[in-house]
Structure 1
Amino acid sequence: MSDATPPPMHDFPPPAPPPTPKKSRTNAVIIGSAAAVIAAVVATGIIVVQSGNDDSKPAATAEPSATDEDVTAADADEPTPEPTYEEVGVDSFTIDLRTTERQCFGSAGCNVTVEPELTYLGDSGAIDPDAVYEITYEVRGDQSGPVIETAELSDQTSLNYTPSLISTASAGTKVSVKITDVLARAY
């Protein structure tokens, strides 16, 4: 038989199992802080809204008098009167020509570019601001005969036109202008 000896025993205890890792509280702290900030923002918003809707102002307690009610009822029954504007016609304006270019060719005459200078003889504020006035005028002095042009007056003071190019028989030819018609179009 054999002598079997048991294995020697160690004098120290078996190793302890590794410690369970502690859960970090960092996430809990972050979530708690975020919740506190959100609560503070909401509370501040509520306070601001309530202070903006301050109902502590004294309310008007006076009863309307009978005359106030009568005036209000009368105003509601009457239609608002339409504004009246001055009637604009041929005699409402003066017109002159401004020469912007001139090129003469000796005895052959000149090419002249002219633009209308219109003046309203009344108060421009009395003109219908929604109307467009077509002002037709005749330029005389062109060797081919009169040149008829139209300018548009809108917004009481805005004048749109096309400059006129005319050819005169000589450098001494007088160029003149006359308003022939005014037509109002409402928009």
Structure 2
Amino acid sequence: MGSAAAVVMAVIATGAVVVHSDGDDGKRTTAARSSTPRADIPATAPEAAEPTYGTVNSASFAIDLKTTSRQCFGSAGCNVTVEPELTYLGDSDGIDPDAVFDITYEIHGDESGSVIETAELSDRTSLKYSESMISTASASTEVSVEITDVTQQGG
């Protein structure tokens, strides 16, 4: 029992020393925390966020036709060769650079009716298309174009 009393007295004395060593100004001090990671907790890098891209549809583009050749035959009309000029109406960074889009458009003004063509957009700015040759009823025939569909290949 005597040794138990000695242990209790030692604990009380140690506590009294700690309480009295708060500092000369009476303020308590706190222990500094280490910024070194603990060895038992694995360090992990935050996962990179998957980029998100906007929806690409027919309203995402404006289209015009560039006439590359025209041969007229008086009152018999004209043979006109045209190619599409597409403009993306948003920030091209909003298009997935790995996506490939088929852009279907309809050319009006051919004397036989509308001509439907498809261009392929890849790498945000690379456009593949074929020139279109149409025959108009007269030299004054207005040729126009509209986008009818945009689809993502494989999507």
- Give the alignment's TM-score, normalised by structure 2: 0.72
- Partner Cα distance (2:81, 2:68) in 1: 6
2:108 paired with 1:140? yes
- Report how many aligned residue pairs link the two structures: 122
User: 1:159 aligned to 127, 130, 139, which one?
Assistant: 127
- Partner Cα distance (1:118, 1:162) in 2: 13
- Partner Cα distance (1:117, 1:101) in 2: 15
In structure 2, runs of 5+ residues without a counterpart are 1-33
Percent of matched pairs sharing the same residue: 64
- Partner Cα distance (1:70, 1:150) in 2: 56
Does the CA contact (< 8 Å) of 2:70 and 2:81 recur in 1?
yes
1:68-125, CA deviations, whole angstroms, 9 ceiling, x for partnerless residues?
Answer: x9793363xxx53321111100100000000000000000000000010000001112
Which residue is equivalent to 2:10?
none
2:88 paired with 1:100? no
In structure 1, runs of 5+ residues without a counterpart are 1-62
Structure-to-structure mapping, 1:59-70, within 5 angstroms: 65-66=36-37
- Partner Cα distance (2:137, 2:115) in 1: 15
Does the CA contact (< 8 Å) of 1:130 and 1:186 recur in 2?
no
- Partner Cα distance (1:151, 1:135) in 2: 5
The structure with more strand, counted as a fraction of residues? 2
What is the deviation of 1:128? 0.6
Letter in 2 for 1:65: T
- Partner Cα distance (1:114, 1:174) in 2: 13
SS at match of 1:84: coil
Whichever of the two has the greater Rg, that structure is 1
- Partner Cα distance (1:146, 1:70) in 2: 68
Structure number with the bigger relative contact order (C-alpha 8 A, sep ≥ 6) is: 2
Which residue is equivalent to 1:175?
143
SS at match of 1:72: coil
- Partner Cα distance (2:102, 2:54) in 1: 16
> What do you get for the CA RMSD once the two structures are aligned?
2.5
Does the CA contact (< 8 Å) of 2:37 and 2:43 recur in 1?
no
